[in-house]
Amino acid sequence: MSISHSTWPVVLVAYNLPPWCCMKPEYVMMSLLIPGPCSPGKSIDVYLQPLIEELKVLWEVGVETYDASKNKTFQLHAALLWTISDFPAYAMLSGWSTKGKLACPCCNYDTSSCYLKHSWKMCYMDHRKFLGMDHPYRMDKRSFNGNVELRSSPALLDGEQIFEDLKDFDNVFGKKQKNKIDGPWKKRSIFFELPYWKQNTLRHCLDVMHIEKNVCDNIIGTLLDIPGKSKDHANARYDLKDMGIRKNLQPKEIDGGKKAKIAKACFNLTNQEKTIFCDILKSVKLPSGSASNISREYEEHVNNQTKGRKWKKAKTLSHDFSEWFKERASHEDVSKQLKDLSRGPNTVAKRFSSYVINGYKFQTREHDASHTTQNSGVTLVCETPSFASAKDNNPMTKAVTYFGAINDIIELDYYACFKFVLFNCDWFEVEEENFGLTSVHFNKRCSRDDPFVVDIGG
């Protein structure tokens, strides 16, 4: 926007609700609205004081609350689990500075940092130490800084130790801190007034949305070589030379040092490739915000009764199961649920163009065609016996991932006992590309005899 103004909302999220409810607007409580025009900085603690007092009451005393299901009141207690914010707000809430040599809250005092004199910024590297000790990247010298990485990941900041280190810290808000200790701490966070805060292992979380957005912007800006947005520029190449890494990308001086030649990187796109990339981004549709084990008691029955190759037995297994199950359940002493299931569904079913299951929205391809978002794509991982041909007598069973698109959504009602949702899908052939990416061929269908995937609707 053309006007620089920053208003800060502080909201509370109730985590004892289902995941698909707790983030909905009607369940989020606006506790504070900190006015602008500037961010509150470390003085955010002044605004948070009333909230902290209420949180202490909720923990120590509780509040009388009405339970509609039992028609009586009870004493409700609550605790603050953690904060969620972007990286700059992390410094304001925790008191740990996210600038300078020790900006990484995970590495804390063991942060590996260096100043890039050509790009005029701090750089944080050596993140291989967070990998498992047997990870091949640890021994990969060539792709990184020329050295092996044998260090273990740094220990997390301990709340008890932070509390002891900062207990005599003199917080001064609204002006420059006079009495400060050495290190990255700028204040003693007001959250330590909560009696349980120092025992929390995880006190502050970073907002994934901001991180993903920044990473995406940087990648796209670099791939498309957008001026001012690309991270691959002349100064970055000279920084590589100073650091002594990636020699193939370092500038090479020509004409006696008067000019420098910069080699193309593997990710540099031609103008035609950029056009293709942008066309795909323009046309792509993205999402907006598997069966029971009872068929095994039947598999044994088919193997005993059916003669011939396993291919024939597999076909019998898929075609005759429902009739066998109905007859067997009527004569055996089984649970009511199995009897209800064996009867089969009501002959009248409901059809939907959109369906929500466990907070996830699924839509048919026809429904997606008139919308700007895409929710018709599905994936399914299941143990599948694979036959080389009809004569194959030794099928191999392994986990196979299927990729498809929903054509129809049908809700089967088992006479009000329970419901199942069937997705009628087109399944497509896939292949593994370089770098582990999966390519789905929408013009090549597969598994045409088994178009359905099932999920429990209620």
How many domains does one find in the chain? 3
Domain-embedded: residue 1? no
Which of the four pLDDT bands, split at 50, 70 and 90, describes residue 436? confident
Which of the four pLDDT bands, split at 50, 70 and 90, describes residue 290? very low
Q: Does residue 348 sit in the same domain as residue 376?
A: yes
Q: Does residue 26 sit in the same domain as residue 57?
A: yes
Domain that includes residue 14, residue range: 8-96+157-206
Q: What is the pLDDT of residues 367-425, one digit of tens each?
A: 998 888 889 999 888 877 666 565 666 767 778 888 999 999 999 888 778 888 999 99
Last residue of a domain, one of 261, 283, 305: 283
Q: What is the pLDDT of residues 51-72, one digit of tens each?
A: 999 999 999 999 999 998 899 9
Domain-embedded: residue 78? yes
Q: Does residue 239 sit in the same domain as residue 184?
A: no
Burial 63-101 (b: 16+ CB within 10 A, else e): eeeeeeeeeeeeeeebebeebbbeeebbbbbbbbbbeee
Domain-embedded: residue 248? yes
pLDDT exceeds cutoff 70 at 350: yes
Domain-embedded: residue 321? yes
Q: Does residue 310 sit in the same domain as residue 375?
A: yes
Q: Does residue 167 sit in the same domain as residue 261?
A: no
Q: Does residue 329 sit in the same domain as residue 400?
A: yes
Domain-embedded: residue 172? yes
Last residue of a domain, one of 206, 233, 264: 206
Domain-embedded: residue 384? yes
> To which H or E segment does residue 162 belong?
helix 159-166
Q: Rounded to an integer, what distance in angstroms lies between the CA atom of residue 16 and that of residue 153? A: 32
Which of the four pLDDT bands, split at 50, 70 and 90, describes residue 294? very low
What count of other Cβ atoms lies within 10 Å of the Cβ of residue 162?
A: 21
Q: Does residue 201 sit in the same domain as residue 221?
A: no
Q: Does residue 182 sit in the same domain as residue 247?
A: no
CB burial of residue 60 (10 Å; 0-12, 13-18, 19+): exposed
Domain-embedded: residue 387? yes
Domain-embedded: residue 108? no
Q: Does residue 345 sit in the same domain as residue 395?
A: yes
Q: Does residue 36 sit in the same domain as residue 66?
A: yes
